[in-house]
Amino acid sequence: MGEEVPPVVQLPLLCLLVLIPLLALLVRAFVIEAYWIPSPSMEPELRRGDFVLVNKLSYGVSIPSRLPLMPFQLPGIKAFSFRHPSRGDVVAFRFRGDGPTYVKRCVAVGGDAVRIVRGDVMINGVPPRANKDPAGPADFGPIRVPRKGDVILLSTGDLPRWRTFIEREGHSVNVEEGSVLIDGRRRSTYTVGRDYCFVLGDNRLKSSDSRSWGFVPEDEIIGRVFLIYWSIDPASPRRASLPIPASVRWQRVGRGIR
Protein backbone atom coordinates (compact mmCIF):
# COMPACT_ATOMS: atom_id res chain seq x y z
CA MET A 1 0.00 0.00 0.00
CA GLY A 2 1.16 3.52 -0.78
CA GLU A 3 2.04 5.97 1.90
CA GLU A 4 -0.49 8.62 2.86
CA VAL A 5 0.31 12.16 1.77
CA PRO A 6 0.90 14.21 4.90
CA PRO A 7 -1.61 17.07 5.45
CA VAL A 8 1.26 19.58 5.37
CA VAL A 9 1.71 18.77 1.64
CA GLN A 10 -1.99 19.11 0.86
CA LEU A 11 -2.30 22.54 2.48
CA PRO A 12 -0.27 24.48 -0.15
CA LEU A 13 -2.41 22.95 -2.91
CA LEU A 14 -5.57 24.06 -1.11
CA CYS A 15 -4.11 27.55 -0.73
CA LEU A 16 -3.39 27.71 -4.45
CA LEU A 17 -6.95 26.68 -5.30
CA VAL A 18 -8.21 29.57 -3.17
CA LEU A 19 -5.57 32.20 -4.01
CA ILE A 20 -5.56 31.87 -7.82
CA PRO A 21 -9.29 32.75 -8.25
CA LEU A 22 -8.93 35.50 -5.64
CA LEU A 23 -5.92 36.92 -7.50
CA ALA A 24 -7.91 36.90 -10.75
CA LEU A 25 -10.72 38.81 -9.05
CA LEU A 26 -8.28 41.38 -7.67
CA VAL A 27 -6.70 41.87 -11.11
CA ARG A 28 -10.17 42.47 -12.55
CA ALA A 29 -11.02 44.93 -9.78
CA PHE A 30 -7.81 46.98 -9.84
CA VAL A 31 -5.73 46.31 -13.00
CA ILE A 32 -7.48 45.08 -16.17
CA GLU A 33 -11.15 44.55 -16.96
CA ALA A 34 -12.94 43.32 -20.07
CA TYR A 35 -15.92 45.03 -21.72
CA TRP A 36 -18.17 44.37 -24.70
CA ILE A 37 -19.00 47.06 -27.27
CA PRO A 38 -22.81 46.99 -27.80
CA SER A 39 -23.28 49.94 -30.19
CA PRO A 40 -21.77 51.48 -33.35
CA SER A 41 -20.95 54.80 -31.63
CA MET A 42 -17.15 54.27 -31.87
CA GLU A 43 -16.98 52.93 -35.42
CA PRO A 44 -14.72 52.40 -37.26
CA GLU A 45 -12.16 52.13 -34.43
CA LEU A 46 -14.43 49.92 -32.30
CA ARG A 47 -17.24 47.92 -33.86
CA ARG A 48 -20.36 46.46 -32.31
CA GLY A 49 -19.41 42.99 -31.09
CA ASP A 50 -15.80 43.84 -30.15
CA PHE A 51 -14.57 42.67 -26.76
CA VAL A 52 -11.96 45.04 -25.31
CA LEU A 53 -9.53 45.24 -22.41
CA VAL A 54 -9.28 48.35 -20.22
CA ASN A 55 -6.12 49.27 -18.33
CA LYS A 56 -7.39 50.54 -14.98
CA LEU A 57 -3.93 51.77 -13.96
CA SER A 58 -3.55 54.14 -16.92
CA TYR A 59 -4.38 57.25 -14.91
CA GLY A 60 -4.13 56.14 -11.29
CA VAL A 61 -5.39 53.71 -8.68
CA SER A 62 -9.11 53.63 -7.92
CA ILE A 63 -11.06 51.84 -5.24
CA PRO A 64 -13.91 50.15 -7.15
CA SER A 65 -17.49 50.36 -5.99
CA ARG A 66 -17.53 46.58 -5.47
CA LEU A 67 -14.65 44.49 -4.14
CA PRO A 68 -14.36 40.70 -4.60
CA LEU A 69 -16.36 38.60 -2.12
CA MET A 70 -17.82 41.69 -0.44
CA PRO A 71 -21.63 42.01 -0.60
CA PHE A 72 -21.76 45.74 0.15
CA GLN A 73 -21.05 48.67 -2.17
CA LEU A 74 -18.25 51.23 -1.71
CA PRO A 75 -18.21 54.87 -2.88
CA GLY A 76 -15.78 54.06 -5.72
CA ILE A 77 -13.13 56.77 -5.38
CA LYS A 78 -9.77 57.61 -6.98
CA ALA A 79 -7.05 56.83 -4.43
CA PHE A 80 -4.33 58.72 -6.32
CA SER A 81 -3.51 59.68 -9.91
CA PHE A 82 -0.49 58.98 -12.09
CA ARG A 83 -1.47 61.35 -14.89
CA HIS A 84 -4.43 62.97 -16.60
CA PRO A 85 -6.16 61.49 -19.65
CA SER A 86 -4.69 62.73 -22.92
CA ARG A 87 -6.47 64.05 -25.98
CA GLY A 88 -7.15 61.12 -28.29
CA ASP A 89 -7.32 58.43 -25.58
CA VAL A 90 -10.21 55.97 -25.87
CA VAL A 91 -11.54 55.73 -22.31
CA ALA A 92 -14.09 53.69 -20.38
CA PHE A 93 -16.09 55.48 -17.71
CA ARG A 94 -19.23 55.33 -15.61
CA PHE A 95 -21.09 58.59 -16.00
CA ARG A 96 -22.88 59.74 -12.82
CA GLY A 97 -21.54 57.14 -10.42
CA ASP A 98 -22.68 53.53 -10.61
CA GLY A 99 -24.49 53.78 -13.96
CA PRO A 100 -23.69 51.89 -17.17
CA THR A 101 -20.16 51.85 -18.59
CA TYR A 102 -19.46 53.94 -21.71
CA VAL A 103 -16.53 53.86 -24.13
CA LYS A 104 -15.75 57.14 -25.93
CA ARG A 105 -12.77 59.15 -27.13
CA CYS A 106 -11.41 61.96 -24.97
CA VAL A 107 -11.03 64.85 -27.43
CA ALA A 108 -10.45 67.67 -24.93
CA VAL A 109 -9.22 68.06 -21.36
CA GLY A 110 -9.60 70.71 -18.68
CA GLY A 111 -8.89 74.21 -19.98
CA ASP A 112 -9.44 73.34 -23.66
CA ALA A 113 -11.93 75.24 -25.82
CA VAL A 114 -14.21 72.95 -27.87
CA ARG A 115 -16.15 73.97 -30.96
CA ILE A 116 -17.82 71.96 -33.72
CA VAL A 117 -18.35 73.77 -37.01
CA ARG A 118 -20.29 71.95 -39.75
CA GLY A 119 -19.28 68.65 -38.17
CA ASP A 120 -15.56 69.47 -37.83
CA VAL A 121 -14.25 69.39 -34.26
CA MET A 122 -11.91 72.22 -33.29
CA ILE A 123 -9.87 72.05 -30.06
CA ASN A 124 -8.33 75.42 -29.18
CA GLY A 125 -8.95 76.37 -32.80
CA VAL A 126 -7.11 73.34 -34.23
CA PRO A 127 -8.57 70.05 -35.58
CA PRO A 128 -7.42 67.18 -33.29
CA ARG A 129 -5.60 64.11 -34.54
CA ALA A 130 -8.61 61.99 -33.59
CA ASN A 131 -11.11 63.97 -35.68
CA LYS A 132 -12.13 60.81 -37.54
CA ASP A 133 -15.68 61.68 -38.61
CA PRO A 134 -16.03 65.13 -40.19
CA ALA A 135 -19.66 64.41 -41.05
CA GLY A 136 -21.71 65.22 -38.01
CA PRO A 137 -24.73 66.98 -36.56
CA ALA A 138 -25.29 70.68 -36.07
CA ASP A 139 -22.70 73.15 -34.83
CA PHE A 140 -21.75 73.05 -31.15
CA GLY A 141 -20.03 75.47 -28.79
CA PRO A 142 -17.74 77.14 -28.30
CA ILE A 143 -17.43 75.85 -24.74
CA ARG A 144 -14.50 75.59 -22.33
CA VAL A 145 -13.85 72.32 -20.49
CA PRO A 146 -13.72 73.01 -16.72
CA ARG A 147 -10.80 72.00 -14.54
CA LYS A 148 -10.27 71.97 -10.80
CA GLY A 149 -9.84 75.47 -9.42
CA ASP A 150 -11.58 77.30 -12.27
CA VAL A 151 -13.83 80.11 -11.06
CA ILE A 152 -17.23 80.45 -12.73
CA LEU A 153 -19.07 83.76 -12.55
CA LEU A 154 -22.67 83.21 -11.54
CA SER A 155 -25.79 85.21 -12.24
CA THR A 156 -29.45 84.28 -12.50
CA GLY A 157 -29.17 84.65 -16.28
CA ASP A 158 -26.23 82.23 -16.58
CA LEU A 159 -27.46 79.80 -13.94
CA PRO A 160 -29.37 77.45 -16.32
CA ARG A 161 -26.07 76.80 -18.11
CA TRP A 162 -24.25 75.76 -14.93
CA ARG A 163 -26.94 74.53 -12.57
CA THR A 164 -26.79 70.83 -13.48
CA PHE A 165 -22.98 70.93 -13.53
CA ILE A 166 -22.80 72.36 -9.98
CA GLU A 167 -25.42 69.91 -8.72
CA ARG A 168 -23.39 66.99 -10.11
CA GLU A 169 -20.48 68.22 -8.03
CA GLY A 170 -22.64 67.57 -4.99
CA HIS A 171 -24.18 70.97 -4.19
CA SER A 172 -27.70 72.30 -3.95
CA VAL A 173 -28.52 75.29 -6.18
CA ASN A 174 -31.43 77.71 -5.77
CA VAL A 175 -32.46 81.22 -6.71
CA GLU A 176 -33.85 83.56 -4.10
CA GLU A 177 -34.70 87.26 -4.50
CA GLY A 178 -32.59 87.54 -7.63
CA SER A 179 -29.51 85.91 -6.06
CA VAL A 180 -27.91 82.51 -6.61
CA LEU A 181 -27.72 80.28 -3.53
CA ILE A 182 -25.28 77.35 -3.35
CA ASP A 183 -25.82 75.11 -0.34
CA GLY A 184 -28.04 77.85 1.08
CA ARG A 185 -25.44 80.63 0.84
CA ARG A 186 -25.48 83.56 -1.61
CA ARG A 187 -22.74 83.23 -4.21
CA SER A 188 -21.61 85.28 -7.19
CA THR A 189 -18.90 82.77 -8.16
CA TYR A 190 -18.37 79.03 -8.02
CA THR A 191 -14.99 77.23 -7.80
CA VAL A 192 -14.85 73.98 -9.76
CA GLY A 193 -13.95 71.03 -7.55
CA ARG A 194 -12.98 68.37 -10.12
CA ASP A 195 -11.07 67.93 -13.39
CA TYR A 196 -13.12 67.12 -16.51
CA CYS A 197 -12.86 65.75 -20.04
CA PHE A 198 -14.97 66.27 -23.14
CA VAL A 199 -15.70 62.95 -24.89
CA LEU A 200 -17.12 62.11 -28.31
CA GLY A 201 -17.91 58.95 -30.21
CA ASP A 202 -15.89 58.55 -33.43
CA ASN A 203 -19.20 57.81 -35.20
CA ARG A 204 -20.81 61.08 -34.13
CA LEU A 205 -24.06 60.62 -36.03
CA LYS A 206 -24.80 57.58 -33.83
CA SER A 207 -23.23 58.64 -30.55
CA SER A 208 -24.61 60.07 -27.34
CA ASP A 209 -21.74 61.88 -25.62
CA SER A 210 -20.61 65.15 -24.03
CA ARG A 211 -22.62 67.16 -26.56
CA SER A 212 -25.82 65.91 -24.95
CA TRP A 213 -25.00 64.97 -21.34
CA GLY A 214 -22.03 67.15 -20.45
CA PHE A 215 -18.45 66.83 -19.25
CA VAL A 216 -17.04 63.62 -17.78
CA PRO A 217 -15.25 63.94 -14.41
CA GLU A 218 -11.76 62.45 -14.57
CA ASP A 219 -12.35 60.53 -11.34
CA GLU A 220 -15.20 58.61 -13.02
CA ILE A 221 -12.91 57.32 -15.78
CA ILE A 222 -12.19 53.62 -15.25
CA GLY A 223 -9.16 53.47 -17.55
CA ARG A 224 -7.84 53.47 -21.10
CA VAL A 225 -9.12 50.98 -23.68
CA PHE A 226 -5.99 49.42 -25.22
CA LEU A 227 -6.79 46.09 -26.93
CA ILE A 228 -9.47 44.14 -28.80
CA TYR A 229 -9.08 40.57 -27.51
CA TRP A 230 -12.10 39.05 -29.30
CA SER A 231 -14.62 40.14 -31.90
CA ILE A 232 -17.76 38.63 -33.38
CA ASP A 233 -20.28 39.89 -35.89
CA PRO A 234 -23.60 40.14 -33.99
CA ALA A 235 -25.47 39.77 -37.27
CA SER A 236 -23.74 36.51 -38.23
CA PRO A 237 -25.79 33.29 -38.15
CA ARG A 238 -25.22 30.79 -35.35
CA ARG A 239 -24.82 27.11 -36.08
CA ALA A 240 -26.02 24.55 -33.57
CA SER A 241 -22.96 22.38 -34.24
CA LEU A 242 -20.52 25.17 -33.32
CA PRO A 243 -19.93 26.63 -29.80
CA ILE A 244 -19.08 30.04 -31.30
CA PRO A 245 -20.73 32.19 -34.01
CA ALA A 246 -19.94 31.26 -37.59
CA SER A 247 -18.32 34.67 -38.22
CA VAL A 248 -15.51 35.56 -35.84
CA ARG A 249 -13.74 38.71 -37.00
CA TRP A 250 -10.26 37.23 -36.70
CA GLN A 251 -8.61 40.26 -38.32
CA ARG A 252 -9.67 42.35 -35.31
CA VAL A 253 -8.51 39.94 -32.59
CA GLY A 254 -5.37 41.25 -30.88
CA ARG A 255 -5.65 44.69 -32.44
CA GLY A 256 -4.42 47.66 -30.41
CA ILE A 257 -6.59 50.76 -30.00
CA ARG A 258 -5.39 53.96 -31.63
> Where in the chain are the domains?
26-110+195-256, 151-191
Q: How many CA atoms lie within 13 A of 11 on its CB side?
A: 3
Contact 225, 103 (CB under 8 A): yes
26-110+195-256 is a CATH 2.10.109.10 domain = yes
Identify the residue with better confidence: 129 or 126.
Answer: 126
Give how far Cα 241 sits from Cα of 238, 244, 246, Å. 9, 9, 10
pLDDT in tens, 78-118: 666 778 999 999 999 987 666 789 999 999 999 999 998 87
DSSP character for 160? H
What pLDDT does residue 72 have? 55
pLDDT in tens, 139-155: 888 999 999 999 999 98
SS3 state at 108: strand
SS3 state at 243: coil
Q: What does the alpha-carbon distance between residue 169 and residue 127 come to, in Å, rounded to a whole number? A: 30
What pLDDT does residue 67 have? 58
Contact 105, 201 (CB under 8 A): yes
Give how far Cα 116 sits from Cα of 66, 87, 216, 248, Å. 38, 16, 18, 37
DSSP character for 255? E
Percent of the chain with pLDDT over 90: 50
Contact 170, 158 (CB under 8 A): no
| β-bridge partners, 150 | none
* Residue 61 pLDDT exceeds 80: no
What pLDDT does residue 74 have? 57
pLDDT in tens, 205-250: 889 999 989 999 998 899 999 999 999 998 876 655 555 556 889 9
pLDDT in tens, 159-201: 888 999 999 999 999 998 888 999 999 999 999 999 999 999 9
**pTM for the whole structure:** 0.81
